[in-house]
Structure 1
Amino acid sequence: MALVTISGYPCSGKTSRAVQIKDAFEKRIGDESYNGPVTKVVLISDDTLGLSRDGYNDGRAEKPQRGALFTALQRNLTKSTIVIVDGLNYIKGFRYQMYCVAREANVRVATVFVAAPSEMCKEWHQTRPESARYTEATFDNLIQRYEEPSSMVRWDAPLFTVPWIEASAPVEEIWQAVTAGVLKPPNAGTSSAPKPPSDALQALETTTARIVSEIMASQGSGMLSGGTVSISSPRVTVHLPAQRTVTLSELQRLKRQFVSMHKKAITLGATESGDVDWSEQGIGTKFGHYLEERFEGN
């Protein structure tokens, strides 16, 4: 259904805002009068995943931290779930990565920026239990590296800025954005290539071999000077070159080229010219066109 990304300085009150939003959403979907598509609200954070703040002490340790958060997001993002990611989310590249996952899943997005002065965040940080603190150097580093969300970029929009002095987040506006806002479809940059069926390679081999056999059989029955061959299964018409016989070795060579070219599509799900129809008819039609294009040059 939607991804809500919480972002802000460390110790700015992000978790409090995330819990406010989660509780308000759950109250709404739990109401007897509600009959919408949202059935669950999931809150993901370093704490819910059991991740230590020591992971932010250096870049090598931080990468697995973000990886765990990202994996949890992918696992929970569905058409009936609102996922709230409560984390630092201070790197715009990581917010963009999450945005791309949401686009691929065809769900809506929203970003909540919890705004608080860095000096106040540092004061609040000092009041936390030692087990819930960052080291002083890490805390200062996270403040310096923070990349503030912007409503001008698509991966942060729509953006809701919540000042630290506000009693609550704009829950109603956020709800409208994630349930009735603009739903951007996946594009070429975020879509996964469709996977071919498990028997695609076998279908490719058997269908092309059958067409080669039928072409040779038609020529052997008296059509020795070119013409049109109609294949019965799959139903394909192939126009052979006029005034000459196409040899078996020539057809076998073209068949091998065609199959080899499409083996790439077996793993990637598409060729450079677009998606592949892996049905017998689709393969036969494409192979027939391939043969005619090669014969035209001869």
Structure 2
Amino acid sequence: MALVTISGYPCSGKSTRALQLKDHLERRFQDPSYPGQPLKVLILSDDILNVPRDAYSNGRSEKPARGALFTAMQRQMGQDTILIVDALNYIKGFRYQMYCAARELKLRVCTVYVVATQELCREWHNARTDGLVYPPETFENLLMRYEEPSSMVRWDSPLITIPWTDEDVPIDDIWKAVMEGTVKPPNAGTQAIPKAPTDALRTLEHTTTTMVAAIMAEQSASGGLGGPVALALASDLKIQITLPSRNVTLSELQRIKRQFVTVHKKAITLGTTEKGAVDWGEHSIANKFVVYIEENLKP
């Protein structure tokens, strides 16, 4: 249903806000006036995944820590779940990656920016007695590296900012974002690329070679009159093509064939982003080759 990304300085109160939000959402789902089926509300955090605070001390340990968070997020996202990711989420590139994963599953998204001054964060960090503290250098480094969310970019929108002076989360704004917000379709970068069948290359080469031979045979029979011509490629496959009123040489057709095959080989081996299923059957390839020949043959 939705992904809520919590972002803010370390020890800015993110976990407190995540718990407040979870409590409000669950109470609204249990309210008799709620018309639908109650959704699951889950919180995902470094603490739940047992990621230690010193994992952010260097890039070698930070990268797998973020990877573990992202993998767990992908497992728990779903149409029946509101997932609250309570983590630093301080790198805009990582927030974008999370946003793309949510769009791929057609989930609503929302970013909650928990705001507190650096001085307050230091004070709250030093006052912790639960042992969940960062090494001093790591803490200062995280403050310095923090990339603030912006409502001007799509992956942080809608952006809901909660200052440290607010006692509670603006549940009405968040509810509207996760329950009524626009569901954006997956972008091209997140869509699975349709793969061609295993015999597509053989069909491409065989069909184009057969068509070149059929055109040359038809020209010999008609004396190069040109105009609309029916090519019999197989007992059940006949293709119409319009040829120029001159003799088309074999070298011309071979050159056009090589160009056509080269272009379509790339689409077969790397995949294509065309919408819908791509037909690599003999009839489809023959029709595409006809269009290509007609566009590239000089009158």
Normalised TM-score (structure 2)? 0.81
Aligned-partner Cα distance in 2 for 1:131–1:234: 75
Q: Specify which of 288, 291, 294 is matched with residue 293 of structure 2.
A: 291
CA RMSD, aligned part only?
3.2
**Secondary structure at the counterpart of residue 144 of structure 1:** helix
Write the letter of the residue equivalent to 1:86: D
- Residue 19 of structure 2 aligns with which residue? 19
State whether residues 5 and 85 of structure 2, in contact with CA within 8 Å, keep that contact through their aligned partners in structure 1.
yes
Quick one: structure 1 residues 128 and 32, their matched pair in 2 at CA, closer, same or farther if it must change by over 3 Å? same
Task: Between 167-176 and 65-74, report the one with greater CA deviation.
Answer: 65-74
State whether residues 239 and 286 of structure 2, in contact with CA within 8 Å, keep that contact through their aligned partners in structure 1.
yes
Deviation at 1:193, TM superposition (A): 6.1
Deviation at 1:78, TM superposition (A): 3.8
Give the share of equivalent positions with the same residue, in percent.
Answer: 53
Quick one: structure 1 residues 32 and 49, their matched pair in 2 at CA, closer, same or farther if it must change by over 3 Å? same
Quick one: structure 1 residues 168 and 268, their matched pair in 2 at CA, closer, same or farther if it must change by over 3 Å? farther
Write the letter of the residue equivalent to 2:150: S
Write the letter of the residue equivalent to 1:289: V
- Residue 259 of structure 2 aligns with which residue? 257
Question: Is structure 2 residue 5 aligned with structure 1 residue 5?
Answer: yes
* Superposed counterparts of 1:187-266, under 5 Å: 187=187, 190-192=189-191, 194-199=193-198, 200-212=200-212, 214-216=214-216, 218-219=218-219, 222-225=221-224, 226-231=226-231, 236-247=239-250, 251-266=253-268
Quick one: structure 1 residues 235 and 31, their matched pair in 2 at CA, closer, same or farther if it must change by over 3 Å? farther
Structure 1: runs of 5 or more not aligned: none
State whether residues 101 and 190 of structure 2, in contact with CA within 8 Å, keep that contact through their aligned partners in structure 1.
no
State whether residues 56 and 138 of structure 1, in contact with CA within 8 Å, keep that contact through their aligned partners in structure 2.
yes
Quick one: structure 1 residues 26 and 283, their matched pair in 2 at CA, closer, same or farther if it must change by over 3 Å? farther
* Superposed counterparts of 1:143-182, under 5 Å: 143-182=143-182
State whether residues 239 and 287 of structure 2, in contact with CA within 8 Å, keep that contact through their aligned partners in structure 1.
yes
Normalised TM-score (structure 1)? 0.81
Aligned-partner Cα distance in 2 for 1:64–1:93: 15
Write the letter of the residue equivalent to 2:279: W
**Secondary structure at the counterpart of residue 94 of structure 1:** helix
Aligned-partner Cα distance in 2 for 1:72–1:131: 24
**Secondary structure at the counterpart of residue 156 of structure 2:** coil
Question: Between Structure 1 and Structure 2, how many residues are aligned?
Answer: 292
- Residue 84 of structure 1 aligns with which residue? 84
Deviation at 1:49, TM superposition (A): 2.3
- Residue 107 of structure 2 aligns with which residue? 107
Aligned-partner Cα distance in 2 for 1:76–1:237: 54
Aligned-partner Cα distance in 1 for 2:38–2:239: 48
Deviation at 1:286, TM superposition (A): 1.7
Deviation at 1:5, TM superposition (A): 0.8
Deviation at 1:253, TM superposition (A): 4.8
Task: Between 194-203 and 114-123, report the one with greater CA deviation.
Answer: 194-203
State whether residues 193 and 268 of structure 1, in contact with CA within 8 Å, keep that contact through their aligned partners in structure 2.
no
Deviation at 1:32, TM superposition (A): 6.7
Quick one: structure 1 residues 38 and 195, their matched pair in 2 at CA, closer, same or farther if it must change by over 3 Å? farther
Aligned-partner Cα distance in 1 for 2:239–2:37: 46
Aligned-partner Cα distance in 2 for 1:243–1:162: 76
Write the letter of the residue equivalent to 1:15: S
Q: Residues 214-246 of structure 1: CA distance to partner in whole angstroms, max 9, x if unpaired? A: 4355446x2331333334665642222322155
Aligned-partner Cα distance in 1 for 2:278–2:223: 33
